Each structure stands twice: as C-alpha cells, then as structure tokens.
Structure 1
C-alpha cells in the first residue's frame, strides 16, 4: 500500500475527512491542507467537530469566520462550533412558545432539541454555506472539512415531509423530532449542498481509520451509510501504521495491525487506500504538519522522563466492592475499550464472592470471545438491533392510525436517529435492571445524560400537558432516580491517553452532570507508557501520553487507573 502524499493525487475541490473519535481526522485534514497550500494552492480548512483541537494544531485563535494562517500563504481556517450553534438554534425554536405552553412542555421541547441530531443539523448549516457560496468557490482551489455530515442528517434533509411542518403532535414518545423546525427558508440552499456532495467530480469522502478492527468496522459502516446518501467518491486513509517492530510490544502491535488489515470489511477493500506511518511526535504546529506527510522524517529524539507509578484497575475494583454499589456502567466513546474494562471489573468482583451479572449492547456481542466461566458470573446480551426494531414497529403501528404517508416517512427516518436507538436500548436496560437476581450488575455502555433527561422531561410532559406523548414504562420511572443515587450507581469513564478521547470523555461528563448523575472513576486504557517499550517510535509516543494521563489524574481528583496496551488476544483471553 502506498503512503499518502496529497500533492500526487488528483483530488476533488471539496474534501470531507471523517472517522471515529481518536483516529486522527483533524491531524490528517490539517496536514493535507498544509501540504496543498505549500504547493501553491488556495485552501480553506473548516472544522465542524465539537471536540476539534484545530486551534491547538495551528497555535492560532480561530472562530467560525475564515482566518488566514500567517505562516502559510494560501491557507485559511475556521473553527465552527456546532454545539454553540445548536444551542442558539434551540433557543430560536423554543422562544416563541415560552409564554404559551406550561413549563413541563417547554422542558420537553428543550430536551428534544438538545441531542446529537440538532448538533448534526447545526453543523450542516456550516457545510451548506461553504458548499454553496459562489465567492468561496471562486477564491479557493480546495475546501477541506474536518468531519463529514452524518448519513442520518443527510437523509433527514432529503425527506419531503421534514420540510412541510414541525410535528406538534408527537404521538410516538421521546425522540429527536423537531430538529428541522423552522428551517424551511433554507431548503434551496440545503438541496444545492446535497447535490454538490453527490457529484463525484466535486466531492470526496476521506475515510480516516486506524489499522485496528474496531476503527475499520466503524469506517466501513460510515462508508456504506454515506454512499447510500449519494457520496460515492471515497478514499481510505490508514493512519498510524507501525513499520519497524523490534521489541515485544512493537511486534505485538505490528502483528495485530497486519492481521486487522488483512481482515478489513469487504467494502473497504474496493476503495483506493493509502497509509500514513505511525509518527513518534505530537503533530501540532506548522513544522510538524509539514513533516507528517513527507517521505523524509526527522531523527527521533527521546527525553529522559521519570515514569510515574500509576495505579492500576485493582484500585477501582477494590472501591467498587467496598462501596457496595449495584449498578456499574462503563462509558466512553467507541474504540476506547469499554467492553474489556467491563469484563475485567465483572470477573474480579465475581472472583471476590459477588454474584455478578454482565450485560452488553454491542451488536457484535464480543463477550463470547472472553473467558467468562467464573463462578457467580452470568452474562446476557441486549440485542440493540432487535430492541430498536421492536420499538420502531410499535411506534409506526401507532402513527399509521393518525398520519398521512408523507409524514410517516419523516417518522420512519426519525426512528433511525441516534436518540431513538438510545431510548429503545434504555428501555431494555430498565427492564433488565428491574430484576433483582444479583449483587452487582455491570453494563457495557451506559445511556447518555441526554437520553435520561429526554425520558424524564417526556414523563413530566405526559403528566402535565393534555395530549399523548408516548408510553413511559414503570421500569424507567423507577430506574431514573436509582441512576442518580450515588450510593447505588457508578459510572466508570473509559478513555485513551490521547487528545480526542479525553476531550470526548469531558463532553460525556458534562452530559451526565446535566442529567444529575455523578461519577467517580476514570480508566486510561491501552497506555503505551505502561508497557515499558524499548522501541524508539513507541517510546516517543509513550512520553506524549504523560500530559493526558496527568490531565485525567487532575480531572478525577486521583480516582483513576491506567491499563497497559494489550493486543486483542491478550485483552480477550481467547480460548
């Protein structure tokens, strides 16, 4: 596989970099922009990632207005914050109703508009502006986006019923309905933007992935989802490929990467693919951005660093046992190792005499890869796809009794939203947790704070507003207070010692706080620093982990643990 050199490729004017958190979207998008600008092109770089560190990368204060990067002629950048825009958008929709509806109704509207779907639409406003503005098109050779629009947002914007009316009569329970309210005046701009995205000669989806199974699976899903909306011009970029193994940790990483690449999802094997070798340095600042996509690399310089003796997972497990908490959720973004940490906690508590039930909502049900034959430990799998289908069928059956066909299309699309999926799974959680046949329940993947508030506000809405907004089962009514009870529930925040995973964990922390759920423990997973590697490249990267581990130490007020990097085989203890 050839290395990625942007100047050697015939790239389209619009480039969208996408990938799961922590794969290096911002870094590779920024390096591509620098690479093309230093070749004499006029380049605009736009970030719509809520966790973007674009300002840190360029050491330049950025806003949602284009600003020229002084060190590189021809390079402009803007850092659009879709979370702030979503908040402003939410207020514009809710404000007219504040004196007309009861407080419970207003709370319900606000929470409906607080989820990921509203952020998606707010981000698409920025996409649409840069895709349709004729002045921008004339000024720049390339417009590069750090983060692509989601397939769900694009499908929503293409639905005719979404533009006809805001569905005041929410007859199917808590959902993401309402995120398109009041956008009718932008319909033409959005349609032009979607048309631009679907033209192969204009737009390319740059799929950024790590050479790791979880990242590749997520990349393959995004590729299919966006291809189904019309974005079929796609390139695969494999970031962080290790090239020179020379000790046990580096050989294990090399073997794991090559194995995962050899078994990557079939739809990715048909795409043009390029690799970016694993670099030993943090890619921030103009100098590093220029270097990362060059053939000639600087000599690795290691620092004399005192490695702290960080606490391991046993300290977390000891506290969980002593506290007697019954509900333990492992939470974190995809790919950080939530399932692995959940398994380790469940097995350890069972081995110490607790009756433990371990549950997961991972559609792949990877629990069957682990050795779980421990006395006192039972396992179950909430089939996320099945419970979602059941919920969707229930809602559509009810909707068909009162709605026209066009509006049913809107309902069906809304039911594919992240919010609906969370709620369907959460209902299954509630029913499972209502059972009292164990001392401790460890659940891999917790509901988000938004989901909890959405259900809570809907429940109050049902009671105080004279119309039907959905069925809230008793199990949920009983579970919400329990999750807010610090004596019963613990959230273990799982992250990696890297920029994006830590910042994404902070966003989850804010989300939970908004829902009234406290958490104590953090786990920094897959630390290279803790392996004591002697490989120069990995040693340099290990040293770069220290600031992020120290940040977690501070955030957690010393309630944290560090787990060394392990291969998939070591993590799962495959039979």
Structure 2
C-alpha cells in the first residue's frame, strides 16, 4: 500500500471525500486541498457535514460562500450549513400549512422533516446549487467536498416517478419521502449532478477509513452502493496507520491490531487504488500541521508532548456505584457506530450483576460475541442476555409496510416506498417495539440497553399518533408497554442515559448533536463516557504520547462544557471478551 501524495489523486476536478464519522475525512480533505493549492492549482474546499470542524482545521471563521485562506493564496473554503439549510427547507414546505391545519398535524410534519435524511437531502441541495453555479466554480481547477452523499440519498434522488403527486398523497409514514416534496422542480438539476458524479474524467470518490473492522466494513458497504449507482471511480485512503517507535506494550498491541485488520481488507477494496496516511502525534489543525501530513519525515518527537489533565476523571465503576443505589431502572448507551457502546453496556451490566442486582442486558450487536461469553458465566443467576436482531426486525417491518400499500400505486411509487424503507430511521422504528418489551422488564430489575432510539425517532413516534399508525399496520393495536415507554424514558428516576464518544473532534461533535436531539425529546443524558483514551494509559511511545496530548482539548471540552458527569476508559490493548475483562475495564 502506497503512502498518499496529493498528486496521486489530482487527475479529477471534483474530489468527494466520504466515510464514517471520526475517520479523518475533514483533515484529509483539507490537507489535500492545501497541498494541491501549493502546487499552483486553484482549489475550493466545501464542507456539507453537520458535524464539520472545517473552521477548527483552518483556524478561521468561514462563510457559506468561497472565502480565501489568507496564507494560501490559491485556496478558498466554504462551510455550508446543512442544518440551517434543512431548517429553511422545512419551513418552506410546512409554512403554507400553518394556521390551516391542526397543530398536531403541523407537529407531525415538523418531526417527519427533522431527521438525518432531511439534513442530508438539504446538504445535497446546497452543494448541487454550488456545482451548478458556473460563475462561482469556473475559476477553480479542483473542487473538494468534505462528505459525499450516501448511496441511499442518491438512489432516492434518482428514482424516476412523478414526485409531486405521489408525495402529496403518500400516507405510509415515510421518513425520507417528506424531505423530497420540495425538490420536484429541481429534478433536471439533480440529474446533471448525478451525471457529474458518475463521470470518471470529472469526479473521484475518495473513501476514507481507519484500520479497524467497523470502519473498513463501512467503506466496503459504501463502495458497493456507489458502484451500483454507476459511481465506480473510487479510491481508498486508510488513515491513521500506526508505526511504533518504541517497545511500549500499548504501542506493540496497537500496531499488531491494525496490521491484522489491514490483512483482512476485502477484495472489493483491494481492486481500487489504495493509499495510507500515518497516525500523527498532533492535531491536524492549522496550515503547518496540514502541510506536515504529507512530509515523509520521522513522526514523533520524544519528550515534546507531555500532558496531564487538570481533573481526575472516574472510571465506569462510578456508573455502577450510582446505579446500584437504585433497586431497578433502565440504563442505555448511545452514540455513533464504532465508539464502543456494546462494550460499555456489557461492562455496566456485569458490574451491576456482580453487586447482586438482577440484570437483563439487551444488545443489537450482530456478532453477539459478548453475549456468548456472558451466557456461560457464574453470573447467570443474576444476569440474563438477549439480542435484538436489527436485520430480522427491519425485514419484518418492511414486509408489514409493503403488504399494506394501496394496490393502485404504480411501480415507480412502490420503488419510492422501498427506497424510503432503506432509511436509517427505518431500523430505529423497526426495533422500537423490541426495545419497548425489554424496557418493560425494568419494573423489578435493571435493564441495560445497547443503543437506544434517538430523540428524533422518539418524537417522530410520539407526534400525532404516528407510532400508533405504524403499529396498526402490524397488529391493529398499541400494546400497553409501548404506551408507557416514552414517559418512562423521560423520567430521570427510572431511565439513565450514557453517551459514548471518543476523545476526538468528530465523535464529540456527533455526541453533542445526539444530546441536543435527546433534549428535544425531554431526555437528559446523565453521563458521557470517553472511550479508548490514550490519555488514560501509561504509554511512553512518542506518537501515542502525542495522541494523548491531542486528546486533552476534547476531554476538557466534554468535562467543562457538555457533560453533567464525565467517565473515562483507557485504550484497551487486548480484546474485551469475557466477564473478567469486562470487570477490569469497569475498575480501570
């Protein structure tokens, strides 16, 4: 695998960077933009990421229009705000109905248009407008987009049906079709954008991943989706590849873990151009740091990075101790994929069971390796484990919705419904009843849930009896345990939420957005768990010492600004499998 040099991916005018949150899309895109500008190219970098830290990276305020970066004459940046665009977009659709429809109907419409799909479609609308503005873009040799649209959004926008009539009449409870309602006049513009995305001479799609399993799996899934849409001009950048500079135990284990994951890269990803970028011991903020990313000099400077947190942060043991003061309740871990929600939930469940509490752990982990270990332990008298299989629940939900569709719908309209059911919201709604059943067990036990429905989903299902409509399709009635679920989740004496994050920019931004989402639903998180922290280890490797130093900004922000209570968990050298390992991280 070759180390990335910007000129290796500079044959295309449009460069779209995509990948899971926290993989380094923004920093990689910014460093590429700086390097190409320094080669004499006129470059525009545009972010459409709701959790964008583009302003942090360039250390200056940015506008929604191209703004010159003072120290790099050829470089311009624009920070589009998809959430503001979504707000304006939502009001444009709902505004004409205010005062004409009952407030319950307006509330339901507002929540339908408050999900991630609306933000993404609004973002697509924003950068399509920019791409189509030849007056703005003709001066640039390269336009770099930090965050590309997902395959799901692109498929929705490609569907050929007459949008307006179907969307006006659709009653199946769509989570994504609503946002499309205001876009019917722009179909020709979107077709032009889709052609540009699929044009190999014009566009390169850059998949960014970390050398870990979940990130590489996500890159593979995204690549397949884009291939199916005819967007085949793809490259893969593995960001943060670690090369140890010491015999430090943590460094040896991290290098070994990464190399094992890199050996397992699928043939699909091997078939495209693959590059890597090293794990660097500093935050990628500021022009000098961005320039240094592509310099093949020795990384790390022994003794340069020394940091000690001003506060002493407790371990997971504090959560177990506080929960143990209650006789029963619901504990839920929430956060974006890859931050360690399942492990944190299992560790707290084991800790409570060890104290003699009756505990039921419910996980959505498809691998379910933790459950396999837990089922065979001496704690089985206190701890029971079940699995919610998201794929099974989603398949069942899709079948129920499709069976109830009106026979008069055209093939194109049915295609719209099927694509809408690929929305991330669908999975949350599909597993909702399973969660409700699990929560109902908390009358006389602790129920520990790995991954709960977001505030948006709870509000969506609560607004204007929309959940009742969904349940009616399945069995014609709303179970009692569903009726009392949302009040129970809002009760701070019954339900305790922990947001799980990593000590990095994007995971912290995303966890904060999730917290705001929950607050809209009147649910207040009790803890933030900062997982996989090098700051909390005893590593002496110069690169990892640098990473620990870089974490400090985000740890202090969580502690001082965002969290009611903050917990920290060290980076773990060994895989966390088995009760004894879970006990260790609880008390680390």
Select which of 388, 404, 407 maps to 2:394: 388
Stretches of structure 1 lacking an aligned partner (at least 5 in a row): none
User: In structure 2, what is the equivalent of residue 443 of structure 1?
Assistant: 449
Conserved 8 A contact 1:17-1:145:
yes
The answer for the alignment partner of 1:92 in structure 2 is: 92
Query: CA contact under 8 A between 1:44 and 1:76: conserved in structure 2?
Result: yes
Q: Which sits farther off after the overlay, 467-476 or 518-527?
A: 467-476
Residue of structure 2 equivalent to 1:111: 111
Match runs of 1:319-358 below 5 Å: 319-358=322-361
Matched with 2:571 is 565
Kindly report which structure 2 residues correspond to 1:112-151, keeping only aligned pairs within 5 A, or say none.
112-151=112-151
Cα distance in 1 for partners of 2:162, 2:345 equals: 40
CA distance in 2, matches of 1:79, 1:171: 36
Specify which of 309, 314, 317 is matched with residue 317 of structure 2: 314
Deviations for 1:207-266, whole angstroms, at most 9, x for unmatched residues? 111111121111211111222222111111011111124210000100000011111233
Could you tell me how far apart the structure 1 residues matched to 2:89 and 2:475 are?
A: 25
Q: Equivalent residue for 1:271? A: 272
Task: Describe the shift of the 1:36–1:203 C-alpha distance in structure 2 as closer, same or farther (beyond 3 A).
Answer: same
Distance 1:303 1:63 in 2: 34
Alignment pair present for 1:473 and 2:474: no
1:327-354 alpha-carbon deviations (Å, 9 max, x no partner): 1110011111101101101111111111
After the TM superposition, which of the residue ranges 547-556 and 209-218 deviates more from structure 2? 547-556
2:263 is matched with 262
Alignment of 1:547-566 (within 5 A): 547-555=553-561, 559-566=565-572
Cα root mean square deviation, aligned: 2.3
Aligned twin of 1:250:
251
Matched, 1:160 2:160: yes
5+ residue gaps, structure 2: 582-588
- Give the Cα–Cα distance (whole angstroms) in 1 for the partners of residues 465 and 497 of structure 2: 24
The answer for the alignment partner of 1:532 in structure 2 is 538
- Judging changes above 3 Å, is the alpha-carbon distance between structure 1 residues 76 and 457 closer, same or farther for their aligned structure 2 residues? same
TM-score normalised per structure 1: 0.94
Distance 1:370 1:69, change over 3 A: farther
Contact 1:30 1:45 in 2 (8 A): yes
Measured at CA, do residues 479 and 266 of structure 1 come closer, stay the same or move farther in structure 2, by a change above 3 Å?
Answer: farther
SS in 2 for 1:530: coil
1:406 aligns with 2:412: yes
Secondary structure of 1:296's counterpart equals coil
Residue range with higher mean Cα deviation, 558-567 or 536-545? 558-567
SS in 2 for 1:323: coil
Name the counterpart of 1:452: 458
Relative to structure 1, the CA distance from residue 17 to residue 574 in structure 2 (aligned partners, 3 Å threshold; closer, same or farther) is farther
Q: 1:363 aligned to 2:366? A: yes
Are the equivalent residues in 2 in contact too, given 1:359–1:442 (CA < 8 A)?
Answer: yes
1:299 and 1:436 map into 2 onto residues whose CA distance is: 50
* 1:129-173 Cα shifts (integer Å, max 9, x gaps): 233333345311111000010111101101122624353444334
Indicate if the aligned counterparts of 1:212 and 1:257 stay in contact, CA closer than 8 A: yes
Query: Per the alignment, in what secondary structure is the counterpart of residue 240 of structure 2?
Result: strand
- Superposition deviation, residue 468 in structure 1: 9.8
Deviates more, 1:162-171 or 1:88-97: 162-171
Deviates more, 1:105-114 or 1:8-17: 8-17
Residue 305 of structure 1 is matched in structure 2 by: 307
Offset at residue 419 of structure 1 (A): 1.5
SS at match of 1:182: helix
Matches of 2:576 and 2:403, distance apart in 1? 47
Normalising by structure 2, report the TM-score.
0.92
Taking structure 1 as reference, are residues 97 and 391 closer, same or farther at Cα in structure 2, changes over 3 Å only? same
- How far off its partner does 1:11 sit? 2.9
> How many residues get paired?
572
| 1:493-512 paired onto structure 2 within 5 Å | 493-512=499-518
Does the 8 A contact of 2:400 with 2:473 survive in 1? no
Structure-1 separation of matches of 2:495 and 2:55: 37
Matches within 5 A, 1:3-22: 3-22=3-22
Q: How far 1:554 moved relative to its partner?
A: 1.9
Task: Verify the 8 A CA contact 1:159 1:410 in the aligned structure 2.
Answer: yes
1:3/1:275 contact within 8 Å kept:
yes
**Alignment partner, residue 585 of structure 2:** none
Give CA deviations for 1:522-563 in whole Å, capped at 9, x if unaligned.
Answer: 111001011110101111111121221122212455612111
Aligned to 1:294: 295
Separation of aligned partners in 2, 1:215 and 1:424? 24
Give the secondary structure class of the aligned counterpart of 2:15: strand
Q: Deviations over 1:167-208 (max 9, x none)?
A: 344433463331111212211111100111111121111111
- Counterpart of 1:187 in 2: which secondary structure? helix
Residue 178 (1) aligns with residue 178 (2):
yes
1:420 deviation in Å? 1.7
